[in-house]
Chains A and B, each alone.
Chain A
Amino acid sequence: MRKITIALAIAVAASALLLTPGIALANFAIHGGYSMDTDACAGCHRAHTASSPLQWSYTDPDTLVTGSGSALLISTADETFEFCLTCHGDDAAGAATNVISGVYESDEWGDIGQPLNGGGFGMNRTSNHTFNGASWAAWGGGETGRDGLFSTGAGPLIVMSCSSCHDVHGSSNYRILRDVVNGIRVGGYEADNTPTPYVISNEPGYPSAGWSLHEQGAIEMADYQPDYTTPAYAKAPAEDPDKGISGWCRACHTQYMTNAGTTTQVGVDADGYFTGTVDPEGAYDANDGFGLVTRYRHPVNVELAEFAGPRDLIDPVQLPTATLPSDTTWDEAWVDCLTCHVSHGSTAEMNGFANVWDSTNPEEDSGVGGVDPANSSALLRLDDRGVCQECHNK
């Protein structure tokens, strides 16, 4: 009887350990670096009297087990963006990074009054990522582009808020970009807490191996000098072509790292990473009138030098390419998503053939501010197709 009791106790204890969601690990990034006697936690949280219904959703990077619970936030904000904009908003003077106007308002970590690297979400935008908690379909998301009753060229709906992309308490990635996005692991930590980031930076003092946890993270944070107005994008860790910001964006924009055809997401491997097969002739419906045909895409995570054709690329390219400190020539740089696009919002204007309603019968300025499928400026950095000309000099 005693053996059975002991065995039962062990089984219960083991079950509790296995079924309990992973603990929240403090990290040292933008919203981190708290000291042991900090009062900063109380700035946003209440342990026993939280009044906000906002949930803390969590995907364990190792097991991909999801969980949620109250975020224990003060305020009665029922959308994440409301809470974040209490400091980062246009009229809320609580942070120098004003993500509505998209302006940095200090001279401490950037140029005062200059645009944020990610742009802003506010008025006068010609496109922006959804941030108000609405459901949103990522262009190129999904596996076939025909998800849902009607073909939309986009994948399953994703709830989009600030916390869909950012982990307020830190991650292994640059700019507290989440380690798990849309159920796909895009960063995180090994069992021994070694960071495995997808996105790193060349900013002074940035830990190129990714943000460490705990005391080591605090040491790294002390040396870090972020720059919110001048991009210093880095190539992927170990120059892994499946990572970098492009690999991170692929968590939602599934198809856009495929040069041609489709990527069929098989699932995630034992570590939670994206696993898929590429069919170079696979058909994809982008909802642009051409239907289910093979799609061809601009390469990403490739060196500019690979595309020095009969007419050289502009030397040097002015767009924010991704580099490594060890690069010796400009054309060693990678082109990735952020080379041409901003992450928050764009004010670029689309005109002429960059503003077409029907791609099968393009007529200048017949569109509503862009081309299919987004019909907007698609977060592009420059007017019309200035981003093309910046490199190709046609």
Chain B
Amino acid sequence: MSEHERPTANRAPEAEPLPAYRRRRRALVLVVILTFAIGVAGAAADARRMLADPTVPTVDIFGRPGTPKFAFSVTGSEEDPLQRPVSVAVTDERVYVTDSLAGRVSVFHHGGSPVRSIGEDRLEVPLYTAVDPTGEELYVSDRALAAVLAFSTADGSFVETITPSYEGTDTVLAWRPVAVEAADDGSLFVSDIASEHRVWHVERDGTIIDSLPASGTAGPAIEFDFPNAVKSIGERVWVADSNSRRLLEFGPGGTLVRLLPLGRLIRGFDVVLAEEGAPVYFALADAFSHEVVLVSEAGSEVARFGGGGTGGGQLSFPNDVVVHAGVTWIVDTGNARVQAWEWGDAARIAAAALWSGGPSWVGVFSAILVLSPLALLFLLRRVRAAVSPEAIPMLSVWSLGGHWGRVRLYVAPSAGDPPHAETLPLIEMSPVSRSDVAFIAQVYSLEEEQAETLSIALRVRMLVTEDETLAIVARARGVEVYDPGRFADEFCSEGTQHSGGELSE
């Protein structure tokens, strides 16, 4: 039997190895199926993670169920961009942002367009800010100046430095103010890290009313450790005791009402009170987890959103948060911007999650794998080969009863008209370059017909021949060379009427 004997029908099918071409094709299909399955599984898992992101649950905070949704960022003007925003104060008309690096307060419309700058000639390292209840004055603490300065909100002009002193004395308290809060009655709460960390309650003119922790009050001894934010509503005062990672509520007379251990490095925070008598929530800016965390009055977490990063809705070391008229303003310090988040309806959960969190690397990689079926297009490519005239009869015999599919053969012009037989693949006469043929014939000492065939083979990179000389030269030029039997094995699917036994020697 010839070494290239065609598979026969009388052989046991399970004993016949598949031709290499079909083995490769089958392996490709299997790999594609496997890759596609992995991609689908990964993408589905990531989509499920995003859609079911527990950080953006539906929460009823503003009297209706909703979820935080990133709206837009405020970055300042092209000429005066925000450089290192630290805190934000919001009124019905304006958004005030302290910028410690630029040494000023940038004022914006609610839509984010800049209005003006305040304090450029006064401030050095502004930290926290608050607007008085009438909306006429802006208070700014400055770390380098160790002072609280008052500015007019109308025109941004400097009003005065608020100097703390005890009533009836001229002794000015040397403080290092950090947080500043304007109470409903026009007084101020200012946290001080100079010596014994505390929160001073002072009149607008600086006269000291009292301080927190209040001395002589009953209850556990409280020591602040870098209190970074103070909020007040009526007689209730809340203090973020940052380094102690807790939030404290004080009532009338400075009595400790509540202490919430948070386990988070909270810098700025805001009290979310939809209406009088409604449940109180706290929006906390967690500088280390790059999130805003919503906790209930009892201290249990109800939502958190943001997450580290530079994209829209992602945060980097957020330092302050204010909730005003349903909009959450977050100072995204590390990204030099202030973000506005709305309280979207529940139907927007998926969109908000996708936008705020985004796909993970697993999701992106999986999405690429899902495209793997495109590789099957490789199987649709046409197999093109040059064929030398003497190989044609053998191909006819070897492929008896088989199907050639997308095989196309090219024969040299000097071989004459190609044969037409149902058992053969489509054979066409291929034009050749006479100069190429002459060159090939001379260089390789080939006959004209051999040179023409090699010229075609060099173009299509495949040759079917029984001519040993031609085969050697073609292989040397990087052409894939088949004899008729092996070519039929590779590319001609077996027919039912074929009997290879007739080819036995």
Contacts and interface: CB of A to CB of B under 8 A. Distances in A.
Contacts of B84: 91
Given A42-B263, A82-B334, A91 B125 contact: yes
Interface in B281-315: 287-290, 308-309
B180 to A, nearest CB: 12
B194 A91 contact: no
B143 A90 contact: yes
A94 B242 contact: yes
B338 to A, nearest CB: 14
Contacts of B193: 93, 96, 105-106
A74 interface: yes
Contact of B100 (A86, A90, A112): A90
Contacts of A101: 125, 143-144
B171 to A, nearest CB: 16
A113 B146 contact: yes
A119 B208 CA distance: 34
A93 B176 CA distance: 10
Given A75-B288, A106-B194, A112 B265 contact: no
Question: Interface majority SS on A: helix, strand, loop or mixed?
Answer: loop
Contacts of A57: none
B129 interface: no
B189 to A, nearest CB: 15
B97 to A, nearest CB: 12
Interface string A87-115: 10011111110100101011110001100
B348 to A, nearest CB: 26
A121 to B, nearest CB: 13
B106 interface: no
B226 interface: yes
A51 interface: yes
Interface string B93-135: 0000000110000000000000000000000010100000000
Contacts of B101: 90-91, 123
Interface in A72-88: 74-77, 82, 86-87
B287 A106 contact: no
A76 B315 CA distance: 10
Interface string B213-237: 0000000000000101000000000
B226 A91 contact: no
Contact of A76 (B146, B174, B290): B290
A75 B334 contact: no
A123 B228 CA distance: 23
A39 B261 CA distance: 11
Given A86-B317, A105-B143, A113-B146, A95 B194 contact: no
B308 A93 contact: no
B195 interface: yes
Contact of B86 (A39, A86, A91, A105): A91
A75 B125 contact: no
A310 interface: no
A43 interface: yes
Contacts of B245: 39, 43
A90 B194 contact: no
B408 to A, nearest CB: 55
B127 A93 contact: yes
Contacts of A95: 226
Contacts of B366: none
Interface in B126-185: 127, 143-144, 146, 174, 176, 178
A324 B166 CA distance: 45
Given A86-B265, A86-B317, A106-B176, A93 B290 contact: no
Give the interface centre of B101, B176, B243, B309 by most chain A CB atoms within 10 Å.
B176
B319 interface: yes
Contacts of B242: 93-94
A93 B287 contact: no
B333 interface: yes
Given A74-B289, A75-B287, A107-B194, A91 B146 contact: no
Contacts of A94: 226, 228, 242-243, 265
A39 B144 CA distance: 31
Nearest to B87: A91
Contacts of A82: 317, 334
Contacts of B288: 74-75, 86
A76 B243 CA distance: 18
A74 B125 CA distance: 27
B287 to A, nearest CB: 6
Interface string B77-99: 00000001010000000000000
Given A90-B125, A91-B143, A75 B195 contact: no
Contacts of A51: 289, 308
Contacts of A123: 101
Given A43-B265, A82-B334, A91 B289 contact: no
A93 B195 contact: no
A42 B100 CA distance: 29
Interface string A16-51: 000000000000000000000001001100000001
A98 B142 CA distance: 14
B333 A91 contact: yes
Contact of A75 (B176, B267, B308): B308
A101 B84 CA distance: 15
Contacts of B317: 75, 77, 82, 86
Contacts of A98: 143
A92 to B, nearest CB: 8
Interface string B260-288: 00010101000000000000000000011
Contacts of B100: 90-91
A112 B174 contact: yes
Contacts of B267: 92-93
A107 B195 contact: yes
Interface in A100-152: 101, 103, 105-108, 112-113, 123
Contacts of A106: 176, 193-195
A95 B228 CA distance: 11
A113 B146 CA distance: 8
A93 B143 CA distance: 9
B409 to A, nearest CB: 59
A108 B195 contact: yes
A301 to B, nearest CB: 37
B89 to A, nearest CB: 16
17 contacts: A39-B245, A43-B243, A43-B265, A51-B289, A75-B290, A75-B308, A77-B317, A86-B287, A91-B125, A93-B267, A94-B265, A101-B125, A105-B146, A106-B193, A108-B195, A112-B174, A123-B101
Given A75-B289, A93-B242, A112-B176, 20 more contacts: A42-B263, A43-B265, A74-B289, A75-B288, A76-B308, A76-B316, A82-B334, A86-B265, A86-B288, A90-B100, A90-B143, A91-B101, A91-B125, A91-B127, A93-B178, A93-B267, A94-B265, A95-B226, A107-B195, A113-B176
Interface of B: 84, 86, 100-101, 125, 127, 143-144, 146, 174, 176, 178, 193-195, 226, 228, 242-243, 245, 263, 265, 267, 287-290, 308-309, 316-317, 319, 333-334
- When A and B form their complex, which 9 residue pairs have the shortest distance between CB atoms, in order from nearest? A76-B308, A91-B100, A75-B288, A93-B178, A91-B86, A74-B288, A107-B195, A105-B176, A94-B226
Interface of A: 39, 42-43, 51, 74-77, 82, 86-87, 90-96, 98, 101, 103, 105-108, 112-113, 123
